[in-house]
Amino acid sequence: MTNRKIGVLVSGRGSNLQAIIDKIRDEKLPIDISIVISDSPEAFALKRAREAGIPAMGILRQDCADKASFETAIDDALRGAGVELVVLAGFMRILSADFVNKWPQSIINIHPALLPAFKGLDAQGQALQYGVKIAGCTVHFVDAGMDSGPIILQKAVPVFDEDTHDTLAARILVQEHTILPEAVKLWSEGRLEVKGRKVRIRKA
C-alpha cells in the first residue's frame, strides 16, 4: 500500500512541522511528507526538514513577478511531489481563492484561537485584549475566507490573569503540537467527512 503524501508550508521555526514528523515516526503512520516549502530562505523549519531527510525548498515572493506566479510556483512544487494534502503549519501568507479552489478540502491550517473567535493575525493578543477566560487552537479546512473553513479539531486552554502574550502563546502551542498531527492522522485514515460547515470524524 502506498503511503499518503502531504506537503507542509511554513514560514518560521517549524515546531508544528516537527510535531508532525515526530507523530509519523513514533506511531509509524503510513504518511510521507513529500516536500516542505517556506517563503523564507532562513526559516529554521527548512533545517528541521532536511535533518529528517525531507525535501525542502524556499519559494520567495520577491523572486516572483506577482502573487499569482508565487502561488503557481508553490502549486507546481506540491503537485510535482505528489502531494494529496497541504498542511499550513505556521505559513504567514494568505492564499488566494484561486489557489485554495485548486485544492478543495485538501488544505488544513492550524490557528491559535478557538474559531470563529479571533480570526487573522495575533489571535493570542486579541484574546488577551478581549479578556477571555478560555483560549485555544483550531485545525480547520481552508476555504476562500479568512480562517473560516470547516473545523476539524479544537483544544482549549485557560487564560490566567497574569498571562502575557508569550505565556499564553506558549500554552496554546503545546496543544497545537497535539491536534495538528492528530488531524493529519485522521485524514490519512480517511476518517474526515465534510458536510457543509461540519466535519464528521468517523470511528476507526
**Residues designated as active site:** 111
Would residue 45 be called left, alpha or beta, if left means φ above 0 and alpha means ψ between -120 and 50 degrees? alpha
Helix (H, G, I), strand (E, B) or coil at 118: coil
Closest by Cα among 80, 75, 109, 82 to 94: 109
Short-list 185, 165, 133, 173, CA closest to 27:
185
Strands ordered across the beta sheet of 151-158: 56-58, 31-38, 4-10, 85-88, 107-111, 134-141, 151-158, 198-201, 192-195
At 109, phi and psi to the nearest 5?
Answer: -135, 150
Name residue 87's amino acid.
V
